[in-house]
Structure 1
Amino acid sequence: MASAPQDALARLGARALGPLGVRRAPAASTIRRVLTLVCPGGLADLLGRHPTSARCLAVDGESARGSRIDTTAAAHLLSAVLPGGHVVAQLRVPDKTTEVIGFTPLLAPFDLTGVTVIADALHACREHAKWLVETKKGHYLLVVKRNQPTLHTALRALPWKQVTARRYDRGRGHGRRKTRSVRALTVTGLALDFPYVTQTAKIVRHRVDVRSGKATRKTVYVITDLPSTTASPQLIAQFTRSQWKIEAVHHVRDTTFAEGASKIRTGHGPANMATLRNFTISTLRTADHHSITAGLRHLSYKPHTRPLDFIGLP
């Protein structure tokens, strides 16, 4: 930034100093200090997107491993992501707690009427389901694993072999052949002892490594308050894949941006840097850059003008 021309500094809002009105870029230490002090919630609201007209919203958490220091655990960030991989909200989970307590504060500011919130097994709790349906007038689709042993056992015992509502998808990518089957079954909340549940699904994923021939199989159960007339096995499969979008965002932050090696570890720095990375990923994907690495390379060819044009800075 120190080598930026005067017109680029003017677009960035750098102050004009002296009788000649020469603009100077802020020092790296100043930028670092601002990042550690700025309210992460305000920055996330400024750069995020509102889930207006969204059909679903995925929630998941990730730790910024590079933020760990001797006396403080790594910052754990809970995010809400749209199907296209756009982060709409992010919240740092207080130290020595779990991301479960951040679920309600993360989503509370948004109008979730008619929106289906998708979350992993950690959030498959009755309080979250009641809050989404009763307070936010939304819907839920929750993954159930062995951390809910009674519910998981009840789901496994359902008559899946007799289910006729099925969906099969086959594909190939990243050197693997993939087959996914979804079986959906109408149930009652009383049968599963879970509020408002009307349907459950069993998702079986088969993967075969093309080169080695190694095959893996994974079975996942999900529950939802959406009835079969609204959520077909195909739609359930689409919603479940939305959960993987948030994992893809975390993967890009770890690999492309080397988040784990970041030296910004104090104050609000880890949360604000994660917000800036999310904004970059979302903006590049909106511009149809399927490869974030290629998109960043494209911007780097004209570093003083192209990024500013890209975000629409006048």
Structure 2
Amino acid sequence: MGSKHDLFLEVSDPRAENARHDFCDMMFIALSAVLCGAESCADMALFGRSKEKFLRQFLDLPYGVPSHDTFSRLFRAIDPVEFSGLLERFCKAFGSALRKGAAGVIAIDGKACRRGYDAGKMHVPPMSVTAWAAGVRLSLGYVAAEHGGEAAAALEVLQLVDIAGATVTADALHCHRTMAGVICEGGADYVLTLKGNQPGLLRDARTELDAKKGRSAAREDRRHSGPVMRRVRVVSAGDMAQKHDFPGLRAIIVLETETGGQTSERLFLASRLFTPREAMHIIRAHWDIENGLHWSLDVTLKEDEARARKDNAPHNLAILRRLALNLARSVKDKNSLRATFKRAAWDDAFLLKLFAQMR
């Protein structure tokens, strides 16, 4: 494993110069603790005390293991914009694997830390937006959505990530001309969900769908609840790009899903005339951010139960969890994420192997 300082040196230490505990030591302990199942700053301190003999093999710890209050103060003070840069630097280390993912789908979506609110502010939990590489299942970038500004945060995260050659997907909140323009300027294609929040676009898209046959494909999947039939149709967007001043708009995609006798329909705007099977792959890949990221954060790492709420702590701990997921997924084996985290807790050599992925 490379020096622990190689991992965190590019993150500024926000504390006073006379702080007792080494910044990189604390960050190493914190990330190690999360990889071993820690859910809070109190868990980080407990992990450090329990693993102190192991940690002293490569950390000096002249003042012992920091307390939970010391960890808490540190994560409240770190600049989350700077800290989130670790995600990008980590992904660059994957080289060809990441480039293969970039040729696929990058999903943009927001998420709330549902219990990270101050007293009396349950309705405004901390929000963030993550860029997710569906092909390699890695978090590429993270931006805090200040004051619930998810749309602005989505535009910001696109500036942090190299999207060239990818297809960027997002839900209806992000279906607007500014988003489309930023994606096109970044050298990427887009598939954006279209709903009633864009009534003019929705009306004209339905007109194009009614007037044109386009190309279509169907696929049936089997689930425990029964078969699910999906039909995709792709038609040209005609002059909608000019009419609505919508950068790059070339196609309309409609996905019809039939299950249990119920049929639903979803519309999407696209910057390329994808084949129906390409369109189906892209739409399904976008859903992976819910299963591959949000579900893993909430079920495996208990993010929705996290109570950190002061200053920058909710966002910095959220970034730490995403970094831990990236590391856990960097080891290609047949174990579940939960099993990977358990193995890291039980096997010190395996924990160090995870850190080696960040060199």
Of the candidates 193, 217, 232, which is equivalent to residue 263 of structure 2? 217
| Separation (CA, whole Å) in 2 of partners of 1:203 and 1:170 | 13
| Separation (CA, whole Å) in 2 of partners of 1:256 and 1:6 | 27
**Which residue pairs with 2:218 in the alignment?**
168
**Which residue pairs with 1:311 in the alignment?**
355
Verify the 8 A CA contact 1:8 1:305 in the aligned structure 2.
no
TM-score (norm 2): 0.74
TM-score (norm 1): 0.84
| Separation (CA, whole Å) in 2 of partners of 1:267 and 1:176 | 47
**Which residue pairs with 2:12 in the alignment?**
none
| Separation (CA, whole Å) in 2 of partners of 1:296 and 1:163 | 50
Determine helix, strand or coil for the equivalent of 2:219. Answer: strand
Of the candidates 63, 69, 80, which is equivalent to residue 112 of structure 2? 63
Q: Which has the higher strand share?
A: 1
1:15-57 per-residue CA deviation (whole Å, 9 max, x = no partner) reads 246xxxxxx2222222222222112122221134256450231
In the TM superposition, residue 305 of structure 1 has moved relative to its aligned partner by 4.1
| Separation (CA, whole Å) in 1 of partners of 2:324 and 2:85 | 15
**Which residue pairs with 1:211 in the alignment?**
none
**Aligned residues: percent identity?**
21
Verify: 1:9 aligned to 2:49, yes or no. no
In the TM superposition, residue 176 of structure 1 has moved relative to its aligned partner by 4.5
**Which residue pairs with 1:79 in the alignment?**
130
Verify the 8 A CA contact 2:117 2:307 in the aligned structure 1.
no
In the TM superposition, residue 272 of structure 1 has moved relative to its aligned partner by 1.5
Verify the 8 A CA contact 2:113 2:304 in the aligned structure 1.
yes
Determine helix, strand or coil for the equivalent of 2:137. Answer: coil
Count of aligned pairs between the two proteins: 295
| Separation (CA, whole Å) in 1 of partners of 2:111 and 2:69 | 27
Verify the 8 A CA contact 1:14 1:25 in the aligned structure 2.
no
Of the candidates 122, 130, 146, which is equivalent to residue 173 of structure 2? 122
| Separation (CA, whole Å) in 2 of partners of 1:176 and 1:285 | 31
**Which residue pairs with 1:94 in the alignment?**
146
Counterpart residue identity of residue 191, structure 2: L
Determine helix, strand or coil for the equivalent of 1:169. Answer: strand
Verify the 8 A CA contact 1:64 1:260 in the aligned structure 2.
yes
| Separation (CA, whole Å) in 2 of partners of 1:275 and 1:184 | 37
| Separation (CA, whole Å) in 2 of partners of 1:177 and 1:300 | 40
Of the candidates 287, 294, 299, which is equivalent to residue 250 of structure 1? 294
Verify: 1:275 aligned to 2:319, yes or no. yes
Runs (4+) off by over 6 Å: none
Determine helix, strand or coil for the equivalent of 2:168. Answer: strand
| Separation (CA, whole Å) in 1 of partners of 2:249 and 2:200 | 15
Aligned CA distance change for structure 1 residues 5 and 15 (closer, same or farther; 3 Å): closer
**Which residue pairs with 2:11 in the alignment?**
none
**Which residue pairs with 1:184 in the alignment?**
234
Determine helix, strand or coil for the equivalent of 1:10. Answer: coil
| Separation (CA, whole Å) in 1 of partners of 2:257 and 2:73 | 46
In the TM superposition, residue 108 of structure 1 has moved relative to its aligned partner by 1.1
Counterpart residue identity of residue 128, structure 1: M
| Separation (CA, whole Å) in 2 of partners of 1:274 and 1:305 | 26
Using the TM superposition, name which of 58-67 and 160-169 deviates more. 160-169
Determine helix, strand or coil for the equivalent of 1:58. Answer: strand
Aligned CA distance change for structure 1 residues 7 and 291 (closer, same or farther; 3 Å): closer
Q: What value does the CA root-mean-square deviation take over the aligned residues? A: 2.5
Counterpart residue identity of residue 200, structure 1: I
Verify: 1:45 aligned to 2:90, yes or no. no
Determine helix, strand or coil for the equivalent of 1:157. Answer: helix
In the TM superposition, residue 207 of structure 1 has moved relative to its aligned partner by 3.0
In the TM superposition, residue 107 of structure 1 has moved relative to its aligned partner by 1.2
> Unaligned stretches of 5+ in structure 1?
18-23, 209-214
Determine helix, strand or coil for the equivalent of 1:112. Answer: coil
In the TM superposition, residue 128 of structure 1 has moved relative to its aligned partner by 1.4
Aligned CA distance change for structure 1 residues 290 and 127 (closer, same or farther; 3 Å): farther
| Separation (CA, whole Å) in 2 of partners of 1:147 and 1:202 | 17
Determine helix, strand or coil for the equivalent of 1:287. Answer: coil
**Which residue pairs with 2:278 in the alignment?**
235
| Separation (CA, whole Å) in 1 of partners of 2:128 and 2:236 | 35
**Which residue pairs with 1:140 in the alignment?**
190
Using the TM superposition, name which of 264-273 and 117-126 deviates more. 264-273
Verify the 8 A CA contact 1:64 1:75 in the aligned structure 2.
yes
Determine helix, strand or coil for the equivalent of 2:247. Answer: coil
> Unaligned stretches of 5+ in structure 2?
1-46, 93-97
